[in-house]
Amino acid sequence: VPLMTEAAARTALLRFASSKCCYGTKAAGELVIQELKPLAVYRYRLETFNESRLSEWAFEPVPAGRPRGAAAPPGTPRLPEPPPFRERTRRLRLPRTALIKECHGCHGHGRSKCSVCHGAGWTRCVTCKGSRRRLKQQKRCQLCSGTGRRRCNTCSGRGSKTCAMCQGEKKLQHFEQLVITWRNNVFEFVSEHQLDFPGELLSRVNGENVFRDENVQVYPVVDFPEPGISLASQRAVAEHRAALAASSRILQQRQTIELIPVTEVRCRHAGKPYVYYVYGLEKEVYARDYPARCCCRCALL
For residue 1, pLDDT beyond 80: no
Helix (H) or strand (E) holding 16: helix 6-18
DSSP result, 22-65: TB-SHHHHH-EEEEEEEEEEEEEEEEEEEEEEEEEEEEEEPPTT
Quick: pLDDT tens for 90-139.
998 888 888 999 998 888 888 888 888 888 888 887 767 766 566 566 67
pLDDT grade for 232, boundaries at 50, 70 and 90: very high
For residue 161, pLDDT beyond 80: yes
Yes or no: say if 56 and 179 are a contact pair by the CB < 8 Å rule. yes
User: Would you give the distance in Å from CA 272 to the centre of its chain?
Assistant: 44
Quick: pLDDT tens for 250-292.
999 999 999 999 999 999 888 888 899 999 999 999 988 777 6
Q: pTM higher than 0.75, yes or no?
A: no
pLDDT grade for 69, boundaries at 50, 70 and 90: very low
- pLDDT at position 284 is 93
pLDDT grade for 153, boundaries at 50, 70 and 90: confident
- Using CA atoms, how far residue 36 sits from 8, 127, 193, 194, in Å, is 11, 73, 17, 16
